[in-house]
Amino acid sequence: MFSFGRKKKINQDDESIKEIEKVVHKLAQDGNGRIRIVDLEAALQRIDEDNRSKPERKKQVRKFLTSLKPKGDRIDGEKFLQIMLERQKQLKLSFEEIDLNKDGVVDPVELAKAFSRLKIVLKKKDLMKIIEVLDRDKDFNITFSEWQTYFRFAPSTELEASLRSWRRGVQLDTINEQQMPNSYTEKERENGFYARHFIAGA
C-alpha cells in the first residue's frame, strides 16, 4: 500500500493541506504513488473556493501544474505534497509580513501599507477590489486561510512579486462584479472598514 510518510501533526492553519493530502491519497492508486495530471487538476479546482470565477481558478491551477514540469502525464504524489507544504510556509511568511499588529488577520490599512512600503502606487478603489476578491466572509479582514486559498497556486509565493502582479493589472483589469459572487454591496462598503478608513483618508 502506498504511504506518504508525512506524519507531522496538522494545525488549524493547515486545513487546506489536509484537503490536498486527501486528494493525493485518493488519486494515487496505481501502486507507485504517481497521479495523473488531468485528475489532479480537476480535483484541485474543486477544493479551491474563493471569489474568483471558475475559469480564472482553472487557468491558475493549470499554469501552476505546468510549471512543475511533470514527466509525461503523471506526477509523484509525495513530491507534490512537499511542494505544497513549502509553498504554504512561504505564504505564511508573506502574510505575517503584512500583519503588522500580529492579530492573525490583515485589514485594509495593513494591506495598503504593504503596497506603500514597496513604493507601489495603488488607487483606493483598486485596493478595495483586491480585498473583495480575498475576503470570502465579507468582514473586511483577510485571514491566512483566505490569503493562501487565493495565492496557493500563484506563480510566486513571495510577497513583493504577489503585490506587484496586482499592480501590473494582471488581476485588477479582469475583476468585475460578475467574477465576484461574494462581492460587497454598496451598503457594506459604506458601513464597513472602507468608509471608516479609506474615505477618511487613512
- pLDDT tens track for 17-45: 888 898 998 898 767 889 999 999 999 98
More confident residue, 145 or 120: 145
Phi-psi region for residue 140, left (φ > 0), alpha (ψ -120 to 50) or beta?
left
Domains in the chain, CATH or no CATH each: 12-198 (1.10.238.10)
Per-residue pLDDT tens digits for 56-80: 888 889 999 999 998 889 999 999 9
Over residues 96-114, mean pLDDT: 93
For 69, other C-beta atoms within 10 Å of its C-beta total: 7
Per-residue pLDDT tens digits for 137-165: 888 899 999 898 888 888 777 777 777 77
User: Lowest-confidence range among 58-72, 83-97, 178-192?
Assistant: 178-192
Cell of residue 166, nine digits: 496586482
What are the φ and ψ backbone dihedral angles of 36, each rounded to 5 degrees? -70, 130
Helix (H, G, I), strand (E, B) or coil at 75: strand
pLDDT band at 113 (very low <50, low <70, confident <90, very high): very high
pLDDT at position 199, please? 40
Rounded to the nearest angstrom, the gap between the alpha carbon of residue 58 and the centroid of all alpha carbons in its chain is 13
pLDDT at position 9, please? 36
Confidence (pTM)? 0.73
**Angle subtended by helix axes 15-27 and 37-47, to nearest 10:** 150
